Amino acid sequence: MALNNGGPSPWGNPRPGGPWGTPPPNPPGGGGRGQGPDLDDLIRQAQDAVRKVIPSGGSGGRGLAILALIVVALWAASGFYRVQPDEEGVVLRFGAFDRTAAPGLNYHIPWPVETVETPRVTTENLVFIGFRSGDAAPVRGPAARDVLEESLMLTGDENIIDIDFVVRWRIRDAGDFLFNTRNPEVTIKSAAESMMREVIGRTPIQPALTEARGQIEDQVRAGTQAIMDQYRAGIAITQVQLQKVDPPGAVIEAFRDVQRAAADRERQRNEAEAYRNDIIPRARGEAERMVQEAQGYRDSQEARARGEAARFTSVLSAYSTAPDVTRRRLYLETMEEILRRNPKVVVDDRLQGLVPLLNLGDTARPAPRAQAPAAAAATQTGPRLGAGR
């Protein structure tokens, strides 16, 4: 069945070997340079290989049976497969989900009855929204490209804000992931962007730029996860990270001026609060000290007045019992008190001529202040006089 083997050429050339003349003889063990492999030789080689596998002494039916057994064994051995530690095996029977397989060596009915898919269930995947990163880094790099149709959003107080964020997700249920979602990344991106627009639409711009970032991330993650659960996508949203939250580039300088003014206002407010927290407790302490001193003076005056009244009452009682003795005693004690506080001079009338001077007191020393009125001495002596009588 060789092509044009020894016959006339298709161009009508009667010379053997074609239009180029007679070909050189074939070298031993191989074909010539200008002639391709002989198809008859290939068929004979295939037949020789089959005869070597099938014993020559047996009948043709037995040989075919042995060949069939070999083919069946090879087909059955093709059902072994390995699931890596970060993967989960999903066995499909005639294209429909049948079961899952744990990591390790497993077996399924070979094709076309069963096939297996091994998605990576522990790998954390990233979806970039609002920008496109040049590498797989989870943060927004300097070479990132902005996608304004995704990042520009309207806040709750009708301002425009530019937000770039990253959604981290992994496969939670391999069966649902393979059969309930056609393009999981597009689904996650659409759901996360929709939730971000909803949350930002309820948030004023100032909290979104400052202290509400963590709250926004939590709300977007929870809302996106609820959408994925509703779709039964078999996806777990692990984290939402805000990369950039800024006003639009055309007005960013004006917003920064406003932020600086707000920071100055907050600083001055904090300084005023600190001064108030310092001066008010001090004034309250001073007022409390004055109140305590006044109460102490009041209590001391009341106690002294009660003591004076009690002494006067005791003197009156003694006077009522012995008026003469009490009157004389009060006179003597009063004179003693007067003489004790004043300088004294004694003159003897019996001496004539030179008047002797006897200074009994220290005139240079100031007179001591009376500690109690004369009635106090009478109060102390009155009961004794009355009792002695």
Domain boundary residue among 91, 117, 143?
117
Question: Does residue 167 contact residue 126 with C-beta atoms inside 8 Å?
Answer: yes
Kind and range of the H or E element at 234?
Answer: none
Cα separation of 275 and 273, whole Å?
Answer: 5
CATH number of the CATH domain containing 224: 3.30.479.30
Question: Which band of pLDDT confidence, cut at 50, 70 and 90, is reported for residue 17?
Answer: very low
* Same domain for 254 and 234: no
- The pLDDT, as a whole number, for residue 352 is 61
* Same domain for 274 and 194: no
Tokens describing residue 276: 């108030």
Q: Is residue 313 part of a domain?
A: yes
Among 222, 216, 224, which Cα is nearest to 184's?
224
* Same domain for 150 and 135: yes
Q: Is residue 98 part of a domain?
A: yes
The number of distinct structural domains making up the chain is: 4
* Least confident range of 10-19, 222-231, 356-365: 10-19
* Same domain for 176 and 268: no
Q: Is residue 39 part of a domain?
A: no
Domain boundary residue among 117, 141, 171?
117
Question: Which band of pLDDT confidence, cut at 50, 70 and 90, is reported for residue 103?
Answer: confident
* Same domain for 240 and 202: yes
* Same domain for 385 and 271: yes
* Same domain for 111 and 53: no
* Same domain for 138 and 203: yes
Q: Is residue 288 part of a domain?
A: yes
* Same domain for 367 and 255: yes
Q: Is residue 270 part of a domain?
A: yes
Q: Is residue 158 part of a domain?
A: yes
* Same domain for 65 and 87: no
Q: What is the mean pLDDT of residues 370-374?
A: 43
Q: List pLDDT tens digits, range 307-365.
A: 999 988 888 888 888 888 888 888 888 888 888 888 766 666 676 655 555 555 555 45
Task: Please give the residue range of the domain that contains residue 72.
Answer: 49-76
* Same domain for 376 and 294: yes
* Same domain for 387 and 266: yes
b/e string for 225-234 if b means 16 or more Cβ within 10 A?
Answer: bebbeeeebb
**Does the pTM exceed 0.85?**
no
